[in-house]
Amino acid sequence: MAAAGSVRMRRRRRESKAVKYLIVGIVGLFVIAVYIFLYAPMIITALFSVNDSKIQTLPLVGFTTKWFSALFNDEPMKQAILYSLKVAAVAVSVSACVGLAFALMIDRLRIRGKAVFQALLAAPLVAPGLVLGISLLVNFHTAKIEPGFFTIVAGHVSFITPLIMFIVLQRLKTADPTLEQASMDCGAGPLRTFWHVTLPGVRVALIAGCLLGFTLSMDEIASTFFLAGTQPTLPVYVWGLLRFGFTPEVNAAFTLIAGGSLTLIGIAGLLLFISGRRNRLPEEKKASRWRRRGAGRPSAAAEREIGPGSVAPGV
């Protein structure tokens, strides 16, 4: 009987492993299919941007970079690129200051309705660009403000600010408040403590938020289309080129925009990952170390090492 029970147990374990591997395989194929669906258009556009033919069909004729040369020899295109860079730089600079101030205010002040306040700040970030652009255009028209550089910057600031605010706020929630208290005890004032303690602690998160905000500003077209005046940004200019169809120059422009956006997003994600691992609380680091060792419930000495207020791994 014992031998038969042991055989059944081993069979069940093999079946459970097979089911687990099957589920993992199905989920993996689904994830791969999603990534192919998301990135296949960009890859095809990049391939056509280096194709030595004006006819955009497969197979590719040959490799060339003349479409990128033609793109940068286009004077209106260069002006649109410089204009977009200037708009993004100003919008991100303003959003960084305002977003940092809002994050500090929400983290430090103990007020009622904080969740409602955060939801109101996040509304421009989650609102459709079409709705945001038309709303701002109506407000600017009522205030007799002509569309142009200022209106584009104001529109971009409205959705970049909450993005930077939430990223910095998450970093502030994991920061050690005793560092600022120790700085105050040593005689430093609020401004000195902010400059030498608070700001260095959120610096990486702030830079990551600025990179993401710069990416959003360079890619934004829905709201910018309504707020731009006579000088278009790069996405608006490329949108105007689409009236004549997908030319190789448009493919080159899309390739540069997508490549730059993915690069900035990758750098921002890497910075946030490094910052999150570096700035974990001591209790979290010790608990993670015990999990990696594969220990169950640690001994009394280990529990004292982890800390009295923390949860021991395996419990």
Domain ranges in the chain are 1-49, 68-288
- How many whole angstroms separate alpha carbon 51 and alpha carbon 66? 9
| DSSP H or E stretch at residue 53 | none
- How many whole angstroms separate alpha carbon 129 and alpha carbon 141? 18
Q: Find the mean pLDDT for residues 285-314.
A: 50
Q: Has residue 179 got a pLDDT over 80? A: no
How much is the pLDDT for 311? Answer: 45
Q: Find the mean pLDDT for residues 235-245.
A: 77
**Three-state secondary structure call for residue 187:** coil
Q: Are 124 and 154 in contact (CB under 8 A)?
A: no
- How many whole angstroms separate alpha carbon 175 and alpha carbon 66? 51
How much is the pLDDT for 95? Answer: 92
Question: Taking the model in full, what pTM does it have?
Answer: 0.70
Q: Are 218 and 257 in contact (CB under 8 A)?
A: yes
Helices first, then strands: H and E counts in the chain: 14, 0
Distance of CA 238 to the CA centre of its chain: 24
Most confident of 7-16, 68-77, 162-171: 162-171
- How many whole angstroms separate alpha carbon 104 and alpha carbon 172? 8
Rg (CA), the chain: 27
Q: Are 271 and 204 in contact (CB under 8 A)?
A: yes
How much is the pLDDT for 314? Answer: 41
Q: Find the mean pLDDT for residues 102-107.
A: 86
Distances from the Cα of 61 to the Cα of 48, 124, 254, angstroms? 10, 45, 20
Residue 182's closest CA among 203, 169, 201? Answer: 201
State the fold for domain 68-288: MetI-like fold (1.10.3720)
Q: Find the mean pLDDT for residues 2-11.
A: 61
- How many whole angstroms separate alpha carbon 197 and alpha carbon 215? 28
How much is the pLDDT for 244? Answer: 67
Distance of CA 197 to the CA centre of its chain: 25
Place of tokens 């600010």: 161
Q: Has residue 228 got a pLDDT over 50? A: yes
Least trusted range by pLDDT, from 120-124, 229-233, 285-289: 285-289
- How many whole angstroms separate alpha carbon 95 and alpha carbon 206? 10
Residue type, 179: L
Distances from the Cα of 85 to the Cα of 34, 82, 123, 215, 270, angstroms? 32, 5, 25, 10, 23
